Structure 1
Amino acid sequence: MTDTLLALSTDHCRITPLFADDARALAAITDETVTSQVHFLPAPFTEADARALIAGSGGGDVFHAVRDERGLDLNGVIGVHRRPGGEYEIGYWFAARVRGKGIATEAVRAVVEALAASRPGCSIVAECHPDNERSRALLRRIGFVSTGRAGKRPGRMLMAWRAAPAWRIDVC
C-alpha cells in the first residue's frame, strides 16, 4: 500500500480514493451526526467543504471512499492518517442509511488489514470518545483494544489494533 489505497473489494464494499466528483455525495452523507463527532469538519458540511477535503487528501492524510458493492453509491469515508514513528491512525464516518448493517465493520477491517499487510511492524490506532459506544464496539470487533491513554483530541481515548494470532487454543 502506498499512501493511497488504489482499490480494495469486500463482499459489500468497494474502497477507492475519493475523487472530486464525489464532493456532492460526500456532503450529503456528512450530516450533523457526523460533524458533531469529527472535530475537523465544519457544520454544516457543504459541497465546497467536501471539495476542499478531497483536494487535500494525500501524503499523510488520505481519505478513501467506501462505495456499495457495485462501486457506485458513496456509503462512507475512511481516513488513514500517518503519525510519527510508523504509526497510522484510522478514522471513519458512514451515511446514516448504512449504519447498523455491518458495512462499516467490513470496510474498516479491510482497510486496517491492508494497512497492516503493507506496513509490517506499523502501529495502527484510533481515537474514540468513550460515549460513542457504537464506534467503540466496531473497533473492538476488528481487534482494537483500549490503551488507557487519552487521545490527541479532547475527550478521546486512544485504542490500538492488535492482529489476531495465526493460531489459538480453545482450552481454559
Structure 2
Amino acid sequence: MTDTLLALSTENCRIAPLTADDARALAAITDETVTSQIHFLPTPFTESDARALIAGSGGGDVFHAVRDVRGADLNGVIGVHRRVGQDYEVGYWFAARARGRGIATEAVRAVVEALAASRPGCAIVAECRPDNVRSRALLRRVGFVSTGLAGRRPGRMLLMWRAAPLDRIDVC
C-alpha cells in the first residue's frame, strides 16, 4: 500500500481519496463548526479552498472521502498524514447531517485498521482538544489512548492507537 488508501468499504461507508469532482461537496460540509477546530482550514472554506486542499493531497498528506454505501453524498473526510519515520496521524471532519450516527467511528476505525495492517509496527496518532468531548469519545471507541503529552498544535493532546483497548480485563 502506498501512502494512499486506495479504497475501503465497510457496512455503511465507502472510503476513497478525494478527487477534484469532490470540491463543491467538500466546501459544503466544511462549515464553521469544522474550520473553528482545524487550524489549517480557512473560514469561510470556499470551493476554491477545497480544490487547493484536494490538489495538494497525495504523498504524505492524503484526504479521503467518506460516502454512504448507498449514495454519492460526501459525509466526511479522513486525513492520513505521514509524520517522522513510520508514524502516521489521522484527522477527520464530518458533515453536520452525518454526526451522531456512528458513521465517523466506523469510517475512522476502518482507516486506522487498514493503515495498521499495511504498515506493521507503525505508530498511529491523533491530536484532539481536551474540550472536544465527542471527538475524544470517538477516538477512544476506535482504540486511541492518551499519551499524556501535548500535541504539536497548541491546545491539543496527543493520543496513540492501540490494537486492543488497554482497559479490557480478560482475567478476574
Give the residue type in structure 2 aligned to 1:134.
R
Instruction: Tell me the equivalent position of 1:2.
Output: 2
Which is worse superposed, 67-76 or 36-45?
Answer: 67-76
- 1:101 corresponds in structure 2 to 101
Question: Does the 8 Å CA contact 1:13/1:71 hold for their aligned counterparts?
Answer: no
1:5 deviates by: 1.1
Tell whether 2:19 aligns with 1:27.
no
Q: After the TM superposition, which of the residue ranges 131-140 and 67-76 deviates more from structure 2?
A: 67-76
Instruction: Give ranges in structure 1 of 5+ residues lacking alignment.
Output: none
Structure 1 match to 2:155: 155
Cα RMSD for the two superposed structures: 1.2
Q: How does the TM-score come out when normalised to structure 2?
A: 0.96
Q: Within 2, Cα distance between the matches of 1:125 and 1:87? A: 7
Match for residue 126 of structure 1? 126
Cα distance in structure 2, aligned partners of 1:99 and 1:110: 17
Matched, 1:56 2:56: yes
The whole-number CA distance in structure 2 between the counterparts of 1:31 and 1:73 is: 16
What does residue 37 of structure 1 align with?
Answer: 37
Asked whether the equivalents of residues 60 and 81 of structure 1 are also in contact (C-alpha less than 8 Å), the reply is yes
- Report if aligned partners of 1:14, 1:71 keep a CA contact under 8 Å in 2: no
Matched, 1:46 2:46: yes
Question: In the superposition, relative to structure 1, how do residues 118 and 132 fare at CA in structure 2: closer, same or farther (>3 Å)?
Answer: same
In the TM superposition, what is the alpha-carbon distance from 1:111 to its structure 2 partner? 0.0
Match of 1:117 in 2: 117
Query: How far 1:6 sits from its partner (Å)?
Result: 1.0
* Cα drift, residue 169 of structure 1: 6.0
How far apart are residue 71 of structure 1 and its match? 4.9
Q: What is the identity, as a one-letter code, of the residue corresponding to 2:79?
A: G
Look up the equivalent residue of 2:78 and give its one-letter code.
I
Contact 1:76 1:94 in 2 (8 A): yes
- State percent identity of aligned pairs: 86
Distance (whole Å) between structure 2 residues aligned to residue 38 and residue 148 of structure 1: 21
1:1-60: CA deviation from partner (whole Å, max 9, x where unpaired):
211111100011000110000000000000000000000000000000000000000011
What's the secondary structure of 2:75's corresponding residue? strand
**Which one-letter code corresponds to 1:87 in the other structure?**
D
TM-score, normalisation: structure 1: 0.96
**Which sections of structure 2, spanning at least 5 residues, go unmatched?**
none
Q: Is the 8 A contact 1:82 1:88 kept in 2?
A: yes
